[in-house]
């Protein structure tokens, strides 16, 4: 069977959020869910029940030693991504990590170097590039419906206490390496100029405090003059709008992930309110792009070089919190992704 026609055999490593990856892989033509790996016996049992035809591994070394494995999706705590991805690529496997790609720009560069020396694919599961709200917001901005954009707000706010390793800073890194990895990635796709400096602050709940902040507020200033802010919070009993964007010709608001956008602008001399229904989008598109890239049919959408500015912003933000000062962002190369409208069917819901 030709390289263009055969299925690429994937192993998902980590069967928490890895369950999402396993389901998506099974839905994509050209990919095969060959196996699932987890060190937890209960999760291995669940994986075997969910996917009885998949090979179950209890150790990562077994995955790396299996010559039938073409590719690995690493879905483990954030501080393990760089090490495991480099091991996987050094074993000759195409490699994906869940977001965050890693916790430092040094780790990211080491991962990219491993990709290059082993001539394999490396990408990051930024599935929320295919969220319907973001796809619609991006199209509105790209088509100039708001005119020149001054400021972008992208917020993810809840009330609650996340559990598991996300309460442990050494493993998790902080919310800018979790939800913030998505919101910063989306902001960078909306603003092509280089991030210049950041200012950030955080809050911790008084009772049940963990080593990870319960609220973080970050503002990024770009070389173009545009500013963008993101709030990630688990102490919001009343949630902030998911999006608020201010432009020369109008303002956009989205109350939640699944709510239509509202644009307020002047039309023909009258103040007008326009409702924009969300376009359809699907997380499966990430793995469809991986399949197409492996088969040499299309260009990789989520390139690891694109993620370097995001990681640099997050590192600078935590230095800003420590110093209570504005902090410059490490200069990294800028790679702009192709518009999602070229990759997904944009049919209104």
DSSP state letters, 195-252: EEEEEEEEE--SSS--SS-SEEEEEEEETTS-EEEEEEESB-SSPPPSEEEEESSEEE
C-alpha–C-alpha distance, residues 141 and 135, integer Å: 10
Residue 21 reports pLDDT greater than 80: yes
pTM reported for the whole predicted model: 0.92
Residue 240 burial (10 A CB sphere; 0-12, 13-18, 19+): middle
Helix (H, G, I), strand (E, B) or coil at 107: helix
Question: Could you report the per-residue pLDDT of 113-167, keeping only the tens digit for each?
Answer: 999 999 999 999 999 999 999 999 999 999 999 999 999 999 999 999 888 999 9
Helix 105-118 crosses helix 304-323 at what angle (to 10 degrees)? Answer: 160
Question: Could you report the per-residue pLDDT of 296-347, keeping only the tens digit for each?
Answer: 999 999 999 999 999 999 999 999 999 999 999 988 765 554 443 333 222 2
pLDDT above 70 as % of the chain? 94
For domain 133-281+310-342, which CATH number applies: 3.30.360.10, 3.20.20.60, 3.40.50.970, 3.10.129.10?
Answer: 3.30.360.10
For domain 8-125, which CATH number applies: 3.40.50.300, 3.20.20.70, 3.40.50.2300, 3.40.50.720?
Answer: 3.40.50.720
DSSP structural state of residue 330: P
Question: Could you report the per-residue pLDDT of 320-330, keeping only the tens digit for each?
Answer: 999 999 999 98
Within the chain, which residue ranges are assigned CATH 3.30.360.10?
A: 133-281+310-342
Helix 105-118 crosses helix 81-90 at what angle (to 10 degrees)? Answer: 10
C-alpha–C-alpha distance, residues 282 and 262, integer Å: 22
DSSP structural state of residue 159: B
């Amino acid at each position: 069977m030709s390289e263009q026609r055969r299925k690429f055999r994937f192993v998902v490593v980590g069967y928490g959020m890895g369950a999402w990856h396993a389901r998506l892989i099974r839905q994509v033509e050209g990919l095969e869910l060959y196996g699932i790996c987890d060190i937890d016996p209960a999760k291995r049992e669940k994986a075997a029940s969910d996917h009885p035809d998949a090979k179950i591994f209890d150790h990562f070394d077994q995955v790396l030693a299996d010559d039938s494995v073409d590719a690995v999706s690493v879905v483990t705590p954030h501080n393990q991504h760089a090490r495991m991805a480099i091991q996987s690529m050094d074993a000759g496997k195409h490699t994906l990590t869940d977001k965050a790609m890693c916790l430092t720009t040094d780790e990211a560069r080491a991962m990219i170097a491993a990709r290059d020396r082993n001539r394999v694919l490396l990408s990051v599961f930024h599935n929320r590039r295919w969220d319907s709200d973001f796809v619609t917001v991006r199209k509105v901005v790209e088509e100039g419906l708001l005119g020149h954009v001054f400021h972008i707000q992208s917020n993810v706010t809840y009330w609650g206490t996340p559990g598991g390793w996300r309460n442990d800073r050494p493993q998790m890194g902080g919310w800018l390496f979790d939800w913030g990895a998505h919101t910063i990635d989306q902001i960078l796709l909306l603003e092509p100029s280089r991030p210049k400096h950041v200012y950030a602050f955080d809050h911790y709940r008084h009772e049940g405090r963990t080593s990870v902040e319960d609220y973080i507020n970050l503002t990024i200033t770009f070389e173009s003059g545009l500013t963008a802010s993101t709030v990630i919070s688990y102490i919001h009993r009343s949630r902030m709008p998911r999006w608020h964007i201010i432009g020369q010709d109008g303002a956009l608001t989205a109350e939640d992930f699944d709510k239509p956008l509202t644009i307020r602008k002047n039309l023909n001399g009258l103040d007008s309110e326009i409702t924009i229904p969300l376009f359809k989008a699907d997380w499966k598109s990430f793995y469809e792009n991986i399949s197409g890239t492996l088969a040499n049919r299309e260009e990789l959408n989520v390139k690891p070089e694109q993620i370097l500015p995001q990681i640099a912003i997050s590192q600078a933000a935590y230095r800003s919190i420590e110093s209570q000062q504005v902090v410059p962002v490490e200069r990294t190369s800028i790679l702009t992704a192709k518009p999602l409208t070229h990759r997904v069917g944009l049919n209104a819901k």
